[in-house]
Amino acid sequence: MKITCSFLMTLLLCQGALADLNVFVCEPEWQSLLSELGGSHLRITTASTAAQDPHYLQAKPSLIAAIRDADLLVCSGAQLEVGWLPLLLRRSGNAAIQPGSPGHVLAAMLVRRIEVPQSVDRRQGDIHPEGNPHVHLNPANVRRIAQVLGDRLAQLDPANSNDYNIYQTDFLSRWDKASARWRMAAKPLTGIRVMVHHTSFSYLIDWLKLNRLADLEPKPGLPPSAAHLASLLSAYSVNPPIAILRTPYSSARSSKWLAQRLNSRMLELPYTVGGGGTADLFEVFDRTIEMLLKVST
Ligand SMILES: [Zn+2]
């Protein structure tokens, strides 16, 4: 977005408005990816942190203000943000980022989604009616999304398309090298037995071919009940998982109860950028594999 600085605006305000595109992202993983793809051409507002559950965010006035000025919106989609994003979009009065416009990108719609239910009954607590939306934990998905986003930046801001092309090529080259390194490093993880609190790690588990025994949530979004945890304890007490995985925003209580009784490890993985002190998507994968290797040996 081009902004002309009037003489009434302070130098500071003008400096803050120098970016060429205002971008609104729902989750930190997309902030990290867009920083790689857009550099200083973008001013990015991120709606959530790694410590916040992206399923249940508050549509705060500060977010409405940010989305109002956005040229591009990037969220996971597949109904991950269904509880709060539609309200923000309605309140924004911003045609550029409404569904169907080039400024509205849902990452989960760009990749093959897994765990798409045959039929959905929200009364049963399933909050993933369009399949699993936590798509960023497979490097191949990130690659595909980076291709689309890089092209979209060039389309929305043609004056800087040359830069966007250079950033995209550079990112994809570094990402491919890192992906090959991760695959090699993670070989010993094939088949390790894990449980998960929520289905946050399904793409990671799929990619690394871990053996996911069960979820602590009876259905995605339905809190672990005492009866469900007791049934897991009974079913896996003889051959327990080596670890029970959860995100930084998931409560540790159920994992702790079960891990103590099964003699399994509790593992809070970074999940997204900022989790476990990670600074970017590369570090999320580095740290995740490192932590899994540590508990598996
Ligand atoms: Zn979810």
Calculate how far, in angstroms, residue 126's C-alpha sits from the geometric centre of ligand 1. Answer: 9
Q: Splitting the chain (297 residues) into consecutive groups of 10 residues, what average pLDDT does each group show? A: 45 56 98 98 98 95 95 97 96 97 98 89 74 97 98 98 98 98 98 97 98 95 95 97 97 97 97 98 98 94
Q: Domain residue spans in the chain?
A: 11-180, 187-296
Calculate how far, in angstroms, residue 277's C-alpha sits from the geometric centre of ligand 1. Answer: 22
Phi, psi (degrees; rounded to nearest 5) at 24: -115, 125
CA-to-CA dists, residue 126 to 112, 143, 214, 256, angstroms? 19, 28, 16, 24
Calculate how far, in angstroms, residue 24's C-alpha sits from the geometric centre of ligand 1. Answer: 20
Calculate how far, in angstroms, residue 2's C-alpha sits from the geometric centre of ligand 1. Answer: 37
Confidence at residue 123, expressed as pLDDT on a 0 to 100 scale: 61
Calculate how far, in angstroms, residue 211's C-alpha sits from the geometric centre of ligand 1. Answer: 19
Calculate how far, in angstroms, residue 133's C-alpha sits from the geometric centre of ligand 1. Answer: 6
pTM for this model (two decimals): 0.92
Calculate how far, in angstroms, residue 18's C-alpha sits from the geometric centre of ligand 1. Answer: 36
Calculate how far, in angstroms, residue 37's C-alpha sits from the geometric centre of ligand 1. Answer: 26
Beta strands in 92-163 (DSSP E): 104-106
Handedness of CA 103, 109, 111, 115 (dihedral sign): positive
Calculate how far, in angstroms, residue 199's C-alpha sits from the geometric centre of ligand 1. Answer: 6
Confidence at residue 255, expressed as pLDDT on a 0 to 100 scale: 97
The β-bridge relationship of strands 193-196 and 211-215 is parallel
Of 245, 235, 256, 247, the C-alpha closest to 212 is: 245
164: Cα within 13 Å, side-chain hemisphere = 23
On whether the CB atoms of residues 249 and 275 are closer than 8 A, the answer is no
**Cα separation of 28 and 107, whole Å?**
13
HEC sequence for 61-84: HHHHHHHHCCCEEEECCCCCCCCC
Confidence at residue 147, expressed as pLDDT on a 0 to 100 scale: 98
The architecture of the domain spanning 11-180 is: 3-Layer(aba) Sandwich (3.40)
Calculate how far, in angstroms, residue 185's C-alpha sits from the geometric centre of ligand 1. Answer: 27
Calculate how far, in angstroms, residue 159's C-alpha sits from the geometric centre of ligand 1. Answer: 38
Calculate how far, in angstroms, residue 128's C-alpha sits from the geometric centre of ligand 1. Answer: 6
Confidence at residue 74, expressed as pLDDT on a 0 to 100 scale: 98
Calculate how far, in angstroms, residue 20's C-alpha sits from the geometric centre of ligand 1. Answer: 33
**Cα separation of 54 and 66, whole Å?**
17
Encoded tokens for 289: 């594999």
Encoded tokens for 77: 């989609």
The architecture of the domain spanning 187-296 is: 3-Layer(aba) Sandwich (3.40)
Confidence at residue 121, expressed as pLDDT on a 0 to 100 scale: 66
Confidence at residue 3, expressed as pLDDT on a 0 to 100 scale: 44
